[in-house]
Chains A and B, each alone.
Chain A
Amino acid sequence: MSNQANFVDRPWMDPEAKPFIRVQSLSKNFGPFTAVDSVDLEIYQGELFSLLGGSGCGKTTLLRMLAGFETPSSGTIYIDGVDMTNVPPYERPVNMMFQSYALFPHMTVENNVAYGLKRDGIDKGEIKRRVDEMLAMVELTQFSKRKPHQLSGGQKQRVALARSLVKQPKVLLLDEPLGALDKRLRENTQFELMNIQEKLGVTFVVVTHDQEEAMTLSTRIAMMEAGRFMQIGTPTEIYEFPESRLVANFIGSANMFEGRVTENGPDHIIVQSKEPECEFYIDHGFAIQEGTRVWTAIRPEKIRVSKTPPESAEPNQLKGTIDDIGYLGKLSTYRVRVGNDTIIEITSPNLSRPRDGSLVHDWEDEIYLSWDASSVVVLTK
């Protein structure tokens, strides 16, 4: 039973939808080093798609291949149905925003933004109109006659954005767009980017190593490691349904327990771990044989902390001692020692205000942990 309304926001779910960017078996080698290892990717129109990973994972190389600055060693790239694998960058309907902004230092802001339009041979009046419009959108109209070295970091970034959008490209590639900005500016710019993207309906492909950024901006994230995709999904999917320990550990943090499947039923699994000794009851089925070694992962915010011991011994419970406390104002993080010497990380929102300056829990407190059956993720790799 398909719900048509859902597909507007999630075109990748629609079997009828044609991807706007299609990458097939794309590889790039630099001598003996494989930067991108035969990847497949489908990005749909209107998405804000992030390539996320640590340095050296190949995300920038992939982006540069989409832009046309690197020629693939093998594989194909289709943009809007057209094979663009070997098309030079100046002939692609794609524009890129560089990490260094790459503003032309010898041209004014106006001329920087107008440069791409001039290359297209558009008439002067039209160019002026579109440049003015763009500068107004990024709120830089009064800086139009300045040169790049007379601008601050945030202003330069907006010029770079204006310059890359004024040509109304079908796809905008952004290389670590927020990397050079300080924290507050980064947050503001994040929302600005999302607004502009929604307003113009341009497909964004963003490369970033900052997982918070990827989670905030993206419709979907592709996690990359050593030239391959580890997982592709929405932020929720990646966070709550990671498919490997790597992914689970990269986004946020996760408490990982190694154990064996002791029971596998149609609607549940039980995993038993030795250190700490614990029984995990998961409330959904999983195609796995009994006896297999697996890991269970639980996110820190999904664990409940209580001073009162539970009424009865049940799965999804642990007893421990508070080893360390971090008070962050709106939440507290606890490092709790369980079993022999395992440390579990827990974050709890500070829901109530203590009467005095005291903490809810204290160091060396004995504490009881519990979580829901639905909060446990089973990982086989």
Chain B
Amino acid sequence: MQNSGQRSRFLITTTCFGLAFLYIPMVLLIIYSFNYSKLVPVWGGWSIRWYKVLFESEDVWEAVALSLKVATVNACFATLLGTLAGLALVRFGSFKGRTLFTGMVTAPLVMPEVITGLSLLLLFITLKELIGWPDKRGFTTITIAHITFSMAYVAVIIQSRLAGMSQDLEEAAQDLGAKPFRVMTDITMPLIAPGMLAGWLLAFTLSLDDLIIATFVSGPGATTMPMLIYSRVRLGLRPDINALATIIIVVVAIGVILAGWIMFRQQKRRELELAMSSEEA
């Protein structure tokens, strides 16, 4: 008994430290966004002037707009392609070229971004020489690059969701007369829909966050938000970036908490229904 008490104290302390480690930098980031002084770590009193500066910078908003556009298009295509890939890998058994396919779908997850970025840029240049497209690098090339690595993440999510789903349901549908394609649209897709949603969100976030690959494959005039932040930040600390960071953190926090709360409520409702029905019977 004493041992387990000691152990849980150890676990609790480590977890608290770990969480503190994770969050203190972000909290400080937020606090300093309200710092009057231009020198970030030097406290000069409370102020929201940097938010004003932020709102007035055109290039910031252009970069944000581009990033959002890329992220949205990327998320949609990545979800589509990733779902197809995940379905094929889990439900189609063995087919020609399956090993290569598996490798290509999993590799982007761990591949260093410098390699992906470099290789894609070289591809685009080669393509331009061979067929004349893409002649200007920017939105299109960034989006293509993002889709390529995002779909790997979606595929992993879909695969794990499918693997957890027993084949019973799909067999039952077949038994009742549904042809395989029908089974996919009637049964498989609706049931992996939450996974597809999670994949969409993940692809969206990854795209918004990407710096390296965008830097490699972008062209003049196409600056994404991370590219903008990076170019400003590498020379030193900037309070308007703190302001931007705060806004992003708050938006994400609201999103995550909302999602968590919705899922929690759904779970509670399910448990209630289960309890009710077993009482009735």
Q: How many residues of A contact B (CB 8 A)?
A: 30
Asked if A104 and B187 make an inter-chain contact with CB atoms under 8 angstroms apart, the answer reads yes
CB distance from B278 to the nearest CB of A (A): 5
- Please report the C-alpha to C-alpha distance between residue A134 and residue B168 in the assembled complex, in whole angstroms: 23
- Determine whether the beta carbon of A96 is less than 8 Å from that of B172: yes
Q: Is the CB of A90 within 8 A of B179?
A: yes
Given contacts A119-B176, A120-B177, A167-B177, contact A102 B168 (CB under 8 A): yes
Taking the closest CB of chain B, its distance from the CB of A78, in whole angstroms, is 19
- Contact between A153 and B176, CB atoms less than 8 A apart: no
Which residues of the partner chain B approach A96 to less than 8 Å between Cβ atoms? 171-172, 175
Which residues on A sit within 8 Å (CB–CB) of B171? Answer: 67, 69, 89, 96, 98, 102
- In-complex Cβ contact of B175 among A89, A100, A105 (8 A): A89
Q: Is A149 part of the contact surface with B, judged by Cβ < 8 Å?
A: yes
Q: Is the CB–CB distance between B176 and A95 below 8 Å?
A: yes
Contact among B166, B177, B280 with A119 in the assembled complex (CB-CB below 8 Å): B177
A-chain residues with CB within 8 Å of residue B274 when the two chains form the complex: 149-150
Q: Mark A91-132, 1 if CB is under 8 A from B, else 0.
A: 000111010101011100000000110011000000000000
Which B157-191 residues have C-beta < 8 A from chain A?
A: 166, 168-169, 171-179, 182, 186-187, 190-191
A115: chain B residues within 8 A (beta carbon): 173, 176, 178, 186
Contact A150 B277 (CB under 8 A): yes
Residue interface mask B38-53, A partner, CB < 8 A = 1: 0000000000000000
Q: Is A260 an interface residue (CB 8 A)?
A: no
Q: Which residues of A contact B276 (CB under 8 A)?
A: 150
Given the interface contacts A104-B187, A105-B191, A149-B273, does A67 sit within 8 Å of B281 by beta carbon? no
B187 → chain A closest CB, angstroms? 6
Could you tell me the distance in whole angstroms from the C-beta of A159 to the nearest C-beta in chain B?
A: 12
Q: How large is the interface on B (under 10, 10 to 19, 20 to 34, 35 or more residues)?
A: 20 to 34
By a CB distance below 8 angstroms, the chain B residues around A100 are 166, 168
Complex alpha-carbon distance, A248 and B150, angstroms: 62
B9 touches A (CB below 8 Å): no
Q: What CA separation (Å) do A116 and B175 show in the bound complex?
A: 8
Query: A167 touches which one: B176, B179, B186, B281 (CB < 8 A)?
Result: B176
Shortest Cβ distance from B248 into chain A, in angstroms?
A: 35
Quote the shortest CB–CB distance from B77 to chain A (angstroms): 25
Taken together as a complex, chains A and B put the C-alpha atoms of A95 and B178 apart, in Å, by 12
The reply to whether B177 and A104 contact each other, CB–CB distance below 8 Å, is no
Task: Identify B277's interface contact among A95, A104, A119, A152, CB under 8 A.
Answer: A152
Name the contact of A106 in the complex, choosing from B179, B182, B190 (C-beta under 8 A).
Answer: B190
Residue of B nearest to A88 (CB): B174
- Closest Cβ neighbor of A98 among chain B residues: B168
Q: Please, how many angstroms separate the alpha-carbon atoms of A116 and B169 in the complex?
A: 13
CA distance A311 to B136 in the complex (A): 113
Point out the residues of chain B lying under 8 angstroms from A106, CB to CB.
190-191
Closest to B272 in A: A150
Q: Which residue of A lies closest to B276 (CB)?
A: A150
Query: A131-168: contact bitstring with B at CB < 8 Å (1 yes, 0 no)?
Result: 00000000000000010011111110000000110010
Q: Name the distance in Å between B277's Cβ and chain A's nearest Cβ.
A: 5
The 7 closest A-B pairs by CB, nearest first: A152-B281, A116-B176, A119-B177, A102-B172, A102-B168, A89-B174, A150-B273
Q: Provide a sorted-by-A list of 6 A–B residue pairs whose CB atoms are within 8 angstroms.
A: A96-B175, A102-B169, A120-B177, A151-B281, A155-B281, A163-B176
